[in-house]
Structure 1
């Protein structure tokens, strides 16, 4: 493997070992040199070796065995097969199914594998509580009305600074604060379409996007989506020519439910394609800062030239789930989106916005994110290993490089809707595949949340889920 001389020493070491694994020089089950041996032979620190081994572990290439060292991991399960939707615009009717599946039916859930959020234990709730109290005390009466249109000025400036760290110069006036990203996404969709219009979405795709299309009387054009790299741009170009959609709603980083990350060059090509056809992109990017290693991926908005990417973000998945603070960096659509926001809900929660602004000013957000990313990567590894132990041998599963969802494809003949009902009766939730499709596809697929700290009870719950899967006897 070609080495990047500018990369940190630990990454160079990790890439070299990864190359040996890829070439077959190191085979599954082989033991790696100990940290002490590697430190001596390479002339580097123990910290460098540990970082390299942690990085390889996060990639699923090696495993740690207690008191025995590090070993090359077995070959990972293959990725789920890519869907091939019809590509024809179709009406959406998923809301009733989603409402049924999101309910608990009165059961107490002790293994929330179907949850949409990471564990609350991963968030700095006490520090946020203090920021909420302090922010409310320092809020002037004038602020409560003077800044209603766009939201808290300081929070918008803090968000703009985070964009600047990625190299994006976003004017704070372009940022519209919303009641969670979902409100912004729905407002953007409503702004760009009229009933009967067609909208491009991923398949499988975020069920709330499908619900939004259904509510607005829009038709879905489902795009084939690669589990690793996102939407198929060749199919996208063909569908644009054939159907002339009015908008495109995509998750470009750690897509829900697949977890795929669209590479930067593919994002650039995506934006160029949409700009040629004057189609706006609604970029749902709420998982962008949850990469497991390295810098945060660039959003597609980084490559726009006409202000036609409405970039939607949120603090709900990375910092404060219950505060319901999201935003849209809306480009040329900002004035119209702001008017739509005013007519719908006027303003978000001022205390919550002020609290987040104060927290971000304190500089602790990045420390929190580093800890959160490490936790999510560790938990993902634990769940992947448990799936390998407890699920049928022909199971396929994604290995995302960020976020906290795994997409699981069971062998032929299995039924995730029946599995959901059986698991729920035992206090185990999951998200069945049909809720992520306009056509009710993905019957043998399910989404699992690995955002919970891994514990023996969760291990037992996943083992029980494996037993329920095997009992279906396809």
Structure 2
């Protein structure tokens, strides 16, 4: 046996024993050289041996990482079956407590879908921000009244074109994040007391918007892989006077579902038959794991300028959540109303972030960053899902998203995930209980896990603690 074979065997033993966990970075060649008392060239040969065995993989300018091994994935959660009855939104008070936990030092953040800064292109964006401060001076301090800065509108129009949705730059309204875009869309097309169809479960931020506007939510059965049920939606439209349907067709939150293209086409056709407004939240659309950006609803709308789709998105999940810069594309008949509502709400979106974001999109390598982060999130989701399968009770069901960074975990009937959430907060761990994703506090036996924290031993132990708590009878 050669010396590098011996080193390779020792490294394999370390991997098998969990000293080097799957998905983590293998120590650098200099450190391994010192650890085993051999030359760097010997370590390099041993690494090649492990790479040939499929145990490690090289990442550009980052070194070698332990590859994830094939494993049996848990079963998918069953499609939801909410009653097709409109109701006011209740039970959202807990959300602020969970949001505040994201700022606590030492907390393991598994609850809020807020990416760690290591997943964001911070250095590249900081260069654009510094350039903006140097070059724009007084302009950066002035208001950029609606619809927003032309430079950013043009960059967004270019990106929309790349996504298969050619739109004129002057049809883009800049907002304070996607949350405000959703709120403006609903205020534009509906009023207090009106019924809004939603996926079930759905993003709790949308539920808060519906609640704040005095509207009613109508939860529609939703499949964890393909999204909202079109037959159920059509039945609801025949029974109720629904003003709009708000949904996330691409990598939804919390299910991670991806609506197939043909179903998107069917949904748009259904909306035209029933004169239904579709409000699309596409905030996760850039985060598909296979590198191909799925089409949005706007791209399958036959007449986007006069159709039934309002498009909303932001860069909160891909550039920086603190930017609070989003945008929306509306049919012409709604644009002026939404523009006015934006002005009344807060005058304008902040100017400096708009200028910096326009520069970043033009020169910051956004597409290159996306390719890198898509791969990272795919690994993160796989790591978290694998760890859940190891530490959660038998029979636990977990979604299998093809993009985004959240997992929906379904426990046995009777599990009290709200109580679990409160117990875990005392231990410095946050999760999101399922009931906050429902207008009527359904899904009490479900949790959402965010996979946006860099994988460390502390994170792995936190996931294991959550799983252990799920198995305790007090959780039921």
| Counterpart Cα distance in 2 of 1:203 and 1:167 | 28
Gaps of 5+ in 2: 1-50, 56-63
Q: Which moved more, 1:286-295 or 1:86-95?
A: 86-95
- Is 1:211 aligned with 2:212? no
CA-to-aligned-CA distance 1:169-204 (integer Å, 9 cap, x gap): 101111000111111110111111111110101110
| Counterpart Cα distance in 1 of 2:125 and 2:234 | 45
Report what 2:324 is aligned to. 324
- CA separation of 1:70 and 1:113: change in aligned 2, threshold 3 A: closer
> Equivalent of 2:162, from 150, 165, 190?
165
What is the Cα deviation at residue 275 of structure 1? 1.4
- CA separation of 1:146 and 1:411: change in aligned 2, threshold 3 A: closer
Q: Pairwise mapping of residues 24-423 of structure 1 onto structure 2 (< 5 A)?
A: 73-104=70-101, 108-139=105-136, 141=138, 147-304=144-301, 305=303, 306-332=306-332, 333-423=334-424
What is the Cα deviation at residue 344 of structure 1? 1.1
Q: Report the 3-state secondary structure (helix = DSSP H, G, I; strand = E; otherwise coil) of the residue aligned with 1:283.
A: strand
- CA separation of 1:278 and 1:409: change in aligned 2, threshold 3 A: same
Q: In the alignment, is the contact (CA less than 8 A) between 1:107 and 1:425 conserved in 2?
A: no
Q: In the alignment, is the contact (CA less than 8 A) between 1:136 and 1:354 conserved in 2?
A: no
CA-to-aligned-CA distance 1:56-101 (integer Å, 9 cap, x gap): xxxxxxxx996xx986x34321111222111111111233233344
Report what 1:32 is aligned to. none
CA-to-aligned-CA distance 1:412-467 (integer Å, 9 cap, x gap): 23111011011111111000000000111100100000112211111111111111
Report what 2:434 is aligned to. 433
| Counterpart Cα distance in 2 of 1:282 and 1:94 | 24
| Counterpart Cα distance in 2 of 1:459 and 1:70 | 15
Where do 4+ consecutive residues of structure 1 move more than 6 Å?
Answer: none
| Counterpart Cα distance in 1 of 2:82 and 2:156 | 37
Report what 1:10 is aligned to. none
CA-to-aligned-CA distance 1:140-189 (integer Å, 9 cap, x gap): 64676685221111111111111111222101111000111111110111
| Counterpart Cα distance in 2 of 1:105 and 1:129 | 22
- CA separation of 1:220 and 1:160: change in aligned 2, threshold 3 A: same
Report what 1:464 is aligned to. 465
* RMSD, aligned CA: 2.2
Q: Which moved more, 1:130-139 or 1:247-256?
A: 130-139
Q: In the alignment, is the contact (CA less than 8 A) between 2:288 and 2:403 conserved in 1?
A: yes
| Counterpart Cα distance in 2 of 1:149 and 1:201 | 28
| Counterpart Cα distance in 2 of 1:298 and 1:114 | 28
